[in-house]
A and B are shown apart, each in its own frame.
Chain A
Amino acid sequence: MLNKKLLHSLRNYGIFFGIVSGFVVLLIVAILLVRSSWHTGLSSVVQNTLNESYPDTYTVDKPIAIPSAFSTSMAAFSLIPSTESPKAYYGIILRATSLAGAVPVVFLCEKNDAAAESPFTVSFAGYAIPTGKAKNIFEKNISIKSLQYWEKQIVTILGTLKTEEAL
């Protein structure tokens, strides 16, 4: 026979695990439901930023899965260049830090030949949100250093993708 105290504890922990399980299920459903929205929304931002820096040069294509913890703060897309090119191009959007706090930045990546020193050439394409009259703050040394860090980091992140098909 279970005594009263034990029954009370069982009831409490039953409710506890019920609530926790409810939270987990709801979160899994929510995350699965919004996954496509993340890529769709950010692809249009990448397209707009690229259009400003390189008018009519690239069209954003499919999203690329990033197998790292960075996937929550960045998104990558393959790009179709308007002129035929044997090289592959990618558009990356990520959250970088600047003197004015976090800011979304778009980078253009070009896949190099196997003989090249670095597998990718990464260049800054522009800020994904208008900087207004604070433009010069985003050109300060501390902000530029952050962009340089991310240019190096993107090469490493894209290098972790296992196969050519993944790209």
Chain B
Amino acid sequence: MKFLSFFLAIEKENRDGTISHNSALFFFFTAALAILIPTPGRLAFGFVMIIAFNLQIIISILFSRLLVLLKIETLKDVLLLLEIVFTTILFKQLLVLTCPIAALTLGFVLYLSAFSTPLMDILYKTPSTSLKAEFRAKMPNAISFSVVALIFFALRDILGYGTLTYIAHKEVVFVKLPYANNEFSAFTFFATIPGAFLLLALIMAAYLFISEQCIRIKRSRR
């Protein structure tokens, strides 16, 4: 329930009863366009991007804690940048090992994610006093984003391509959905890049609507 309340916290209620936008989360989503738009609209590739994204955040949190322990905070920014690049290249090598076709298809997109949200969320956020507090402060945003991103990729895959895809050993498996035929439909538009922008806008609008309703329900209970 606590997670859900954060998940729907695009709008928050102020002490005086007015509603204001949670700008940090909006900023987070805008920055995350680098992950959502250039990635091919298949669930399998989206899943890989989400794993890479979360891995970058977790390793960056652990690494920044290590730098605090080593007492070299002065070089923290440079080292964190290097660590993010290192993690991304290493992740790509792991992808080559497990699923080369996904590594080929995603290519430079993996690097775009490294220089979007994690940088803003980790480098420019004040570090917490403990590792636990650091994870608590940074992971909810990452989890929220991951859930929305997976819904986004699943919708593009199902509506746009009429398939459901997942990563298996050395291959990407394509499951053709029973209702989907090879004929063109209006939903196929969601497979394209302009369609991805439109779908993202629709998801954001749905988000706003649901969060607004939640706040109204809360108010009426009081």
- Measuring CB to CB, which residues of chain A are less than 8 angstroms from any residue of chain B? 12-13, 15-16, 19-20, 23, 26-27, 30-31, 33-34, 37-38, 40-42, 44-45, 72-75, 93-95, 99-104, 128-137
Contact = CB atoms under 8 A, between A and B. Distances in A.
Given A16-B79, A42-B104, A44-B170, A99 B38 contact: no
Contact of A72 (B78, B101, B107): B107
Given A15-B70, A26-B90, A100-B191, A129 B107 contact: no
Interface band, chain B? 35 or more
Given A41-B99, A133-B183, A93 B104 contact: yes
Contacts, number: 128
B124 interface: no
A98 to B, nearest CB: 9
A15 B193 CA distance: 44
B102 to A, nearest CB: 9
Contacts of B193: 99-101
Nearest to B188: A134
A99 B161 CA distance: 13
Interface in B97-117: 97, 99-101, 103-109
Given A26-B90, A99-B192, A133-B184, A38 B107 contact: no
B188 A137 contact: yes
A31 B89 CA distance: 9
Contact of A134 (B89, B90, B160, B196): B160
